[in-house]
Structures are given as C-alpha cells and as structure tokens.
C-alpha cells in the first residue's frame, strides 16, 4: 500500500500526493483508493486529520497504519496525529524528535540557489512561522540546514525572524556536508539572507545546484 499524491498542485516532496485542494490526500494501494483525508498543522509538533473518509472499510486498519507510517517518517518531529470529528483515537509518536524554535540568523545554508517555482508554491500555503520546520545538523560549532532551505527563505520574505527545526536523524556524511559548506563559502553564501539574491528558475537551479551535487565525489580522494 502507498500514500500517493495526485498529479496536480504538488506541495511536498515525498510520497504523499496532494489533491487539487490544499492539504488533501489519498491513501491507496496499486489497484484502488482506500481512503481520502485532509490535514492541517495544529502546531510545530502536531498534525490534525480534519477529515478521514474510508472508501473500503475492510482496509481501515491498513489505511490508518500506512497513514501513520508515512506521516511520522516524513515528519519525525511530530508527537501526535489528532483525528478531528472521527471516532478513531489519536496516535502518539513515542519516538518523536524534539523541535526547537530558532532564529533565522542563527542558521547557515548548505545550498547555492533557490527554485523560484518551489518558493512560490510554498509561499501560497505557509501562513505562520510554526508551519516552517526544517532539519538541521551541527558542524564545527554552527547550525546548518540539511533540508528546508526554500522554506527558510520563504520565512525571511514574509518578515519572520524565527522558525522551527529538529536535528536531522539521517544526515549526509561529514565529508558530504563539508563539501556543501565549502561550495557555499566559496560563493559567499554564509547566511539564509544571502540566498535572497540566488532565487532562480527551476532550470537554473538544476544547473547551478542539483547537477553540481550529483557530480560531487562521494568519498575523499586517496
């Protein structure tokens, strides 16, 4: 069974497929849709399942289990899934990673450019700072973003000074992280604010960042 995003209005880069209405999703296997649901952030540690419609009652247990696994995998900092207006009990994540509030000026980037298209998409659904939660890693006394650069830039554009973060449970190797840091420092990109002048088209973003990452050596040269 998979949680799938429909093929339009993509808002997240994972296996959830967003429907035409923001934050609406489906849960399906390879053959049929099992359930449909909508969700919203109740705070930096909770997601509320606002509606949860089971289309195949025989698959109820599997649908809920798949939903839980997907959401907690992509959002490991969540402590609870709360079902509003549903008889299904709330689900607690006993392995949740702590979330902390952090000033944008305290975070350093590890990315050279920002996709204008992705930034625009995120700007349309982010309404408050506690909806922006990024993964970070500590390196040489500094805090670096490992995932969430576009969201951080979005927060800066909206005039917010703080966002939320959690320690990346599966960060790249120290060697790879050092490569990212060196690339950014070489280009004078040391703060999130430096990325405001590096917002480019998705094609340019691929050329100036994604393709570079794809060609970086995976291990130090001997």
Q: Is the dihedral of CA 191, 197, 202, 203 positive or negative?
A: negative
Say yes or no: 83 and 104 in one domain.
Answer: no
Q: Which of 157, 161, 167, 159 is nearest to 199 (CA)?
A: 157
Asked if residue 35 lies in contact with residue 19, where contact means CB atoms within 8 angstroms, the answer is: no
pLDDT single digits (tens) 156-215? 999 999 999 999 998 999 999 999 999 999 999 999 999 999 999 999 999 999 999 999
Within a domain: 221: no
Say yes or no: 77 and 49 in one domain.
Answer: yes
Q: What is the reported pLDDT for 15?
A: 37
CATH number, position 190: 3.90.1530.10
Within a domain: 169: yes
Q: Is the dihedral of CA 98, 104, 109, 115 positive or negative?
A: positive
d(CA 43, CA 79): 10
**The domain boundary residue, chosen from 92, 118, 153:** 92
Neighbours of 118 (CB within 10 A): 20
pLDDT single digits (tens) 128-144? 898 899 999 999 899 99
Within a domain: 222: no
pLDDT single digits (tens) 95-112? 889 999 999 999 999 999
- Mean residue pLDDT across the chain: 81
């Amino acid at each position: 069974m998979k949680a799938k995003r429909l093929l339009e209005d993509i808002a997240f880069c994972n296996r959830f497929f967003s429907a035409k209405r923001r934050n609406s999703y489906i849960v399906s296997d390879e053959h049929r849709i099992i359930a449909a649901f909508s969700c919203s952030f109740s705070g930096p540690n909770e997601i509320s399942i606002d509606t949860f419609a089971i289309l195949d009652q025989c698959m109820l247990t599997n649908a809920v289990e798949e939903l839980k696994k997907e959401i907690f995998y992509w959002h490991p900092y969540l402590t609870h899934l709360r079902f509003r207006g549903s008889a299904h009990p709330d689900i607690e994540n006993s392995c949740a990673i702590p979330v902390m509030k952090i000033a944008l000026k305290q975070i350093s980037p590890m990315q050279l450019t920002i996709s204008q298209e992705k930034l625009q998409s995120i700007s349309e659904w982010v309404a408050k700072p506690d909806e922006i939660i990024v993964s970070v890693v500590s390196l040489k006394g500094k805090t670096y973003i490992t995932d969430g650069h576009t969201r951080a830039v979005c927060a800066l554009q909206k005039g917010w000074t703080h966002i939320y973060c959690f320690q990346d449970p599966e960060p790249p190797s120290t060697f790879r992280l050092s490569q990212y840091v060196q690339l950014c420092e070489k280009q004078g990109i040391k703060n999130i604010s430096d990325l405001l002048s590096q917002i480019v088209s998705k094609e340019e973003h691929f050329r100036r960042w994604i393709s570079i990452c794809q060609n970086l050596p995976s291990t130090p040269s001997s």
